[in-house]
Amino acid sequence: MQKILVWDWPVRLGHWLMVGGFALAWLTGDSESLRLVHVAAGTTVVAVAAFRLFWGFAGTRHARFAAFVRGPAAVRRYLTSLLRLEPEAHVGHNPAGGWAILALLGLALLSGLAGWATYEEIGGHWLEELHEGLAATMLTVVIIHVAGVVSGSLAHGENLIRAMFTGRKEGLPEQAIPSARPLAALLLLAWAVAAGWWMLA
């Protein structure tokens, strides 16, 4: 086992853009004077989520949904292994983390759609309530996800937060991805900027 490249640049950049975008959107959600900041931050989250759906099929080995989305039995088995302090080893996302990712992507897109409708004054007050409810649910999933990352880091003896910065985790050489795909990360940035420009134009 050695440090290998697991997370490509689009996965890492997208992760931290969603973290920053969601935090900023949450903090500015009730401020009328910062409404455009809220909209820009929310648009960033939605743009990244949409790109991540695409990257889940076209991305590198460990970024693909097929590599980490598993059924309930696999999730239960992984969580049980954590409780027994004998955690299953996964080079990429573990099965529980895979479900959290799908939930976060779905909530980001649904909340963003409701937020857009509210911004465009479509649908009335109920859509604003739906937007806030979806955002609150997303925050709950974020908290659970962070708790999972911390417990997983302790159980595996590996700093998973640092891995999402460096892209490197413990694994076998043959499990490494051949490239971090920096050009795809630039495409992600361009897409997020274009989405924000369109939303605020």
pLDDT in tens, 37-93: 999 999 999 999 999 999 999 999 999 999 999 999 999 999 999 888 888 989 999
Q: CB of 48 within 8 A of CB of 184?
A: no
Confidence at residue 85, expressed as pLDDT on a 0 to 100 scale = 84
Q: How many CA atoms lie within 13 A of 133 on its CB side?
A: 7
Alpha-carbon distance 120 to 156, whole Å?
A: 47
pLDDT category of residue 1 using cuts at 50, 70 and 90: confident
Q: What confidence tens digit (pLDDT) does each residue in 35-48 have?
A: 999 999 999 999 99
Q: Over pLDDT 90: what percentage of the chain?
A: 90
pLDDT category of residue 156 using cuts at 50, 70 and 90: confident
Q: What's the pTM value of the predicted model, to 2 decimals? A: 0.94
Tell me the residue type at 192.
A
Q: Is the dihedral of CA 85, 89, 92, 98 positive or negative?
A: negative
Confidence at residue 83, expressed as pLDDT on a 0 to 100 scale = 87
Q: Which residues contact 184 (CB under 8 A, 6 or more apart)?
A: 8, 9, 10, 55, 59
Q: Is the pLDDT of residue 155 over 90?
A: no
Q: Is the pLDDT of residue 14 over 90?
A: yes
Confidence at residue 201, expressed as pLDDT on a 0 to 100 scale = 83
Confidence at residue 123, expressed as pLDDT on a 0 to 100 scale = 82
Q: What confidence tens digit (pLDDT) does each residue in 113-146 have?
A: 999 999 999 988 899 999 999 999 999 999 999 9
Check residue 164 and give left, alpha or beta (phi > 0: left; psi -120 to 50: alpha). alpha
Confidence at residue 86, expressed as pLDDT on a 0 to 100 scale = 87
pLDDT category of residue 112 using cuts at 50, 70 and 90: very high
